[in-house]
Structure 1
Amino acid sequence: MLIINELKERLEQLVKSEDGNWAIVVEDLDKQDSLSINGKHQYYAASIIKLPIMATAFSMADQGLLCLSEKIKLKKVDVVGGAGVLQHLSIGLELTFYDLLMLMIIQSDNTATNMVIDRLGKKQIQATMSQIGMLHSSFYNKLMTVPVQLEGRNMITAHDVSTFYRTVVEGKFSSQYACEQMIDLLKRQQIQHLTAYFPDIPIKHIGQQPEWTFASKTGSVENLYHDTGVLYKRDRTVIINVLSEGCNQNKAIRMINQIGKEVYEYVKV
Structure 2
Amino acid sequence: MKQLTNNIQAITEKAGGTWGIALKDLNTKETWTSNGDELFYAASVIKVPILVAAYTAFDDREFSLSDTVELRKEELVGGSGVLQHMTPGTKLTIYDIMTLMIIQSDNTATNIAIDLVGKEKIRETMKVMGLEKSKFYNKLMVVPANLDGVNQVTASEMTSMLQQLVAGDVVSMHACEQMIDMMKKQQLQNCLPGRLTEQDSEIIGVPNEWELAHKTGSISGACHDIGVFYVGNRAMIASVLSKGVDDFQSPHFISDIGWEIYHYLKK
Q: Can you give the 5+ residue segments of structure 1 that lack an aligned partner in the other structure? A: none
Which residue type is aligned with residue 114 of structure 1? N
- 2:72 pairs with 1:75: yes
Deviation, structure 1 residue 131:
0.9
Which residue of structure 2 aligns with residue 164 of structure 1?
A: 161
Which residue of structure 2 aligns with residue 257 of structure 1?
A: 255
1:77-156 equivalences in 2 (<5 Å):
77-145=74-142, 149-156=146-153
More deviation, 72-81/18-27: 18-27
| Residue 130 to residue 74, structure 1, CA distance change in 2 (3 Å) | same
SS of structure 1 residue aligned to 2:122: helix
Maintained 8 Å contact 1:5/1:35: no
Q: Stretches of 4+ moved more than 6 A in 1?
A: none
Which residue of structure 2 aligns with residue 215 of structure 1?
A: 213
Deviation, structure 1 residue 210:
3.5
Question: How many aligned residue pairs are there?
Answer: 265
SS of structure 1 residue aligned to 2:225: strand
Which residue type is aligned with residue 220 of structure 2? E
1:167-178 equivalences in 2 (<5 Å):
167-178=164-175
TM-score normalized with structure 2 length:
0.95
Which residue of structure 2 aligns with residue 200 of structure 1?
A: 199
Which residue of structure 2 aligns with residue 55 of structure 1?
A: 52
Deviation, structure 1 residue 146:
5.0
Deviation, structure 1 residue 150:
2.5
Which residue of structure 1 aligns with residue 18 of structure 2?
A: 21
| Residue 243 to residue 173, structure 1, CA distance change in 2 (3 Å) | same
SS of structure 2 residue aligned to 1:92: coil
Identity of aligned residues (%): 41
Which residue of structure 2 aligns with residue 241 of structure 1?
A: 239
SS of structure 1 residue aligned to 2:33: strand
Which whole-Å CA distance do the structure 1 matches of 2:202 and 2:52 have between them?
Answer: 32
Deviation, structure 1 residue 6:
2.1
Maintained 8 Å contact 2:21/2:241: yes
More deviation, 148-157/226-235: 148-157
| Superposition RMSD in Å | 1.6
SS of structure 1 residue aligned to 2:141: coil
Maintained 8 Å contact 2:231/2:262: no
SS of structure 2 residue aligned to 1:259: helix
Which residue type is aligned with residue 229 of structure 2? L
Which whole-Å CA distance do the structure 1 matches of 2:60 and 2:202 have between them?
Answer: 39
More deviation, 179-188/12-21: 12-21
Q: Can you give the 5+ residue segments of structure 2 that lack an aligned partner in the other structure? A: none
